[in-house]
Amino acid sequence: MALTNSQYETIMREYENRQTRNRHLLEERTAEIYRQVEGYREIAESIAAISVSQGKKLLEGDEHALEDLKASIRSLSSMKEQLLTGQGYPADYLSPVYDCPSCHDTGYIDGAKCHCFKQAVIDLLYEQSGIRELLEKENFYTLSYEYYQGEDLTRFEKAVDEGRKFIKSFDSDYHNLFFYGTVGTGKSFLSGCIARELIETGHSVIYFSAAGLFETMSRNMFDYKNKDDVLSFHEDLETCDLLIIDDLGTEYTKNVAPSMLFSLLNQRHLNKKSTIISTNLSLEDVRNRYSDRVFSRITNQYFICKFTGPDIRMLKKRLQNRK
């Protein structure tokens, strides 16, 4: 995915912070060694003086100046290491300090993103998704079919299969998912599984409960003091790679909710950005609650998966109490 300007700036600020922190650490170590190790400062200063002197000779045409300089620096550097180790310090105690030795805390190696930069992107996306802790427990590695039987199992297997297809073709095929059915049958769990896989491959995912989403959007309608933050929030909602709206129907009913939902879904459709919606409502309830426009958008532009079966959360509790 292409990072937004604000996301890129956030990551690069962290690299700047690393560089500043490690530079200060090296300065503190240097001051410590100058205090504790007798003769070290003098050798360090003599290296600088010799470098200037030999540099002048090189400019004056002395062909041996460079080799003489290298030999002198090797000798003096060896003396510095002996002084450090003699006082119990590591030989590289005053070497430059880097969080990432590969890119020297720049984020790039020969113009290409370093592995640490790619990890920083993933960490940022987890942080911005708001569901890092949830996805540590709810993912494809912990997904289980053991609580489903018969038709319930068939439906869940089909939904999981569609979820995997959604991930596999995410970058080449714009599509959306709508999960509906009874409480506790795995809708939110499967949404989380998909979210984790996409975040791990560097895609931006934003998760909202329907209650939290509509509350935030309603509050922002009248926030004139923080206009830039509001615009940024709506831009993120409309352009993130995947938006997950969980538990549609649990939000406090307001007349503006259907229009807000339609506007958001419509804008994401225009941007060709995927959305996953989960709800305990029936399809008829969705139509009655959110208008024909929203219902038409969902039934025509979303792959619909029905979930049925026991409330797995309650079932797990009962099984746990029996132990």
Q: Give the pLDDT confidence of 148-164 residue by residue, as tens digits.
A: 999 999 999 999 999 99
pLDDT confidence band for 321 (50 / 70 / 90)? low
Q: Give the pLDDT confidence of 202-236 residue by residue, as tens digits.
A: 888 888 889 888 888 887 766 555 566 677 778 88
Tokens 């746990």, residue?
320
At 121 the pLDDT is 83
Residue 219, CB-side half-sphere exposure with 13 Å CA sphere: 10
Residue 65 makes CB contacts below 8 A (sequence gap 6+) with: 54, 55, 57, 58
Mean of all residue pLDDT scores within the chain = 87
At 101 the pLDDT is 92
Contact assessment for residue 114 and residue 100, using Cβ atoms and an 8 Å cutoff:
yes
Task: For the chain, give percent helix, strand, coil, nearest 5.
Answer: 60, 10, 30
pTM across the whole model? 0.68
At 145 the pLDDT is 92
Hey, which residues does 208 pair with through a beta bridge? 245
Average pLDDT over residues 117-143: 80
CA distance 213 to 37: 61
Residue 66 confidence (pLDDT) above 70: yes
At 190 the pLDDT is 95
Q: Give the pLDDT confidence of 247-304 residue by residue, as tens digits.
A: 999 887 666 678 889 999 999 999 999 999 999 999 999 999 888 999 999 999 999 9
Residue 133 confidence (pLDDT) above 80: no
Residue 79 confidence (pLDDT) above 70: yes
CA distance 271 to 260: 17
